[in-house]
A and B are shown apart, each in its own frame.
Chain A
Amino acid sequence: MTLTSRFCAALALLLLCSTALADRIRCESRDGNYQSCPAYTGDGVRLVNQLSREGCWQNDTWGYDRNRIWVTNGCRAEFEIGRVPGERRGDSKEGEIAAALVIGAIAGAIIASHDRDDRRDDYYYPPSGSYPSSGRRGFRCESRDGRFRYCGVRVSRREHVEVRRQLSDARCHFGRSWGIDRGSGQVWVNHGCRAEFVIY
């Protein structure tokens, strides 16, 4: 085998390997704006690293179709596309210690020393340094008989609204059955979406 053919074989192997590995794409909604990121999504998309405290909810504040991933309403994240899941670091010492940290959260026991009110704060903790914690408020808003209505709540561009809890069977889907008027900052619901919202 000549040096050139060896080089080509090595290159081919490298290309084969890189196509087998999943690609990672970062897609970020800045200032709550919609962002679309071109990507081939035929082999599936996984959100592998959420960067924002603002919620990343599939088919609500992030999603994908054939050739793009989109994010909105402050969701910032890294996505893996392709068949092969990335290596997890769950078995390392770092992973073990991290597991000890999150054990309460995911097993449902949450954090030992917090009482119930603390947990609520914990749930919607304001971005550090961005907003005063007193700025966090919740409200309920309901679309009756599938009709559009404003919630009587106005938010500034610096504020962020999320569904705290959906009350209706009808899905509350950002941009479709609830949203924020770009100009006026009024929150609205539609198509039977009933929910508790939170602003922070």
Chain B
Amino acid sequence: MPLASLILAAALAATPAPSELSPEDAIAAIDRDGDAMIDWEEARNYAIRRFHALDVNGNGVLDAAEFPAGTDRLEGGLDGQAYQDAALARFEAVDGDRDGRISAAEIRAFRSRDPR
């Protein structure tokens, strides 16, 4: 399978239906200071908790066997730095007005322009 298709397949497999959780509920799950927005501090802390939850053997790397079912795996594993880099890239993609905070409206806009 060509690389691009592989990556697309991984993205499709890992992405839940957009209707799973409302943007407001998603924000509430991550929002720490109660401003109804997600800033990078909140997103990074969420992402790293998620990373550690997946890193069952606690070696600081998501080994191939620790990747969630249905996602593409990296044979060499994925370290926390790469995971955070990806989270930051994703955060910036969702943050439409680039003010460093994600609002419910920006999540809606992101879902409609990138419905994968």
Contacts and interface: CB of A to CB of B under 8 A. Distances in A.
Interface in A47-106: 47-53, 55-58, 88-90, 93-106
Given A105-B50, A109-B20, A166-B33, A100 B14 contact: yes
A174 interface: no
Interface in B35-91: 38, 41, 43-50, 52-53, 55-58, 60, 62, 67-68, 71-74, 78, 80-91
A44 interface: no
Interface string A101-130: 111111111111100000110111101110
On chain A, which size bracket covers the interface?
Answer: 35 or more
A123 B52 contact: no
Nearest to B104: A108
B17 A112 contact: yes
B85 A88 contact: yes
A151 interface: no
Contacts of A160: none
Contact of B23 (A98, A108, A112, A119): A108
A110 B15 contact: no
Nearest to A78: B81
A142 B3 CA distance: 54
Contacts of B38: 106, 108
A163 interface: yes
Contacts of A128: 52, 55-58
A110 B26 contact: yes
A122 B16 contact: no
B82 A50 contact: no
A104 B50 CA distance: 11
Contacts of B80: 49-51
Contacts of B71: 97, 100-101
Q: Which 6 A-B pairs have the closest CB atoms?
A: A108-B26, A112-B16, A98-B86, A90-B89, A106-B90, A100-B11
10 contacts: A50-B48, A97-B73, A100-B13, A101-B83, A105-B47, A106-B87, A106-B94, A107-B111, A108-B102, A108-B107
Interface of B: 3, 7, 10-11, 13-18, 20-21, 23, 26-27, 29-34, 38, 41, 43-50, 52-53, 55-58, 60, 62, 67-68, 71-74, 78, 80-91, 94, 102, 107, 110-111, 116
Given A50-B44, A101-B71, 15 more contacts: A56-B44, A57-B41, A95-B82, A95-B85, A97-B7, A100-B72, A101-B14, A101-B86, A103-B15, A106-B102, A108-B21, A108-B30, A110-B20, A123-B49, A127-B52
